[in-house]
Amino acid sequence: MRNLKISALLLFAMAALHCGISEDTEVIKGNCNDTVRLPCKAADRTKTYRYIMWYKTEKSPIIKRKSNSYTLYNFTSISLGDKETLVLNGVQPSDSGKYKCYLAADVGGQNDESSVVLNISECLNLSTVYPISTTVPADSCPAVEELTVPWAVIGLSLITVTKIVLCIITVGVCDRVIFRTVRRKQEVRGSKTGRSSWKE
């Protein structure tokens, strides 16, 4: 039983040395055609290592640096920045995915790695965006004819005379209505006083 526990501990130690330290994966978002920097968190923990290798989706190598020698794998618009940051220029939606930074330790050291997920938004195709027209077609507005001064004076005079006539008619109608109302009241009063004197 004791040998079994020792074997399990040895297997765990070998797996930790081979695979390095795992951690939570960071997610970085970017826009189409931007320059994106993917941090290598393993470089913050491990200061000495033989080489660094960046992978995409665990299998596709991207770039390797050993000493001052660089090897690119089917990628041209990439480079390494400070602290082994992977710099991607002109990113496209196809660049989205999981990236892994792997540090190969010196003899007797411990390998380390960190992962980051990149999400790139879809590119807008500007050739399919149509500009908004701000011009108004000539036939959409009716033609406006200018009036001469005499016709304008005649038109304004007719409007003024029409207003005066309407005012006179309105005043006359109001006078007749008021006159009839007062007359009826007087007749009612007169009839009441005549009846009262007849009774006496």
Q: What is the pLDDT of residues 58-75, one digit of tens each?
A: 778 999 999 888 888 877
Do 107 and 171 share a domain, yes or no? no
Q: Which segment of 10-14, 24-28, 90-94 scores lowest on mean pLDDT?
A: 10-14
State the Cα–Cα distance between residues 165 and 159, nearest whole angstrom.
Answer: 10
State the Cα–Cα distance between residues 166 and 193, nearest whole angstrom.
Answer: 41
Do 104 and 167 share a domain, yes or no? no
Whether residue 33 lies inside any domain: the answer is yes
- Number of neighbouring beta carbons within 10 Å of residue 88: 21
CA angle 48, 53, 58 (to 5 degrees): 130
Q: For position 133, what pLDDT does the model report?
A: 54
Average pLDDT estimate for 111-134: 77
Do 115 and 52 share a domain, yes or no? yes
Do 162 and 115 share a domain, yes or no? no
Do 30 and 110 share a domain, yes or no? yes
Whether residue 193 lies inside any domain: the answer is no
Domain enclosing residue 170, as ranges: 158-186
End-of-domain residue from the set 77, 103, 122:
122
Do 47 and 118 share a domain, yes or no? yes
- Give the total number of structural domains in the chain: 2
Asked if 40 contacts 84 with a C-beta cutoff of 8 angstroms, the reply is: yes
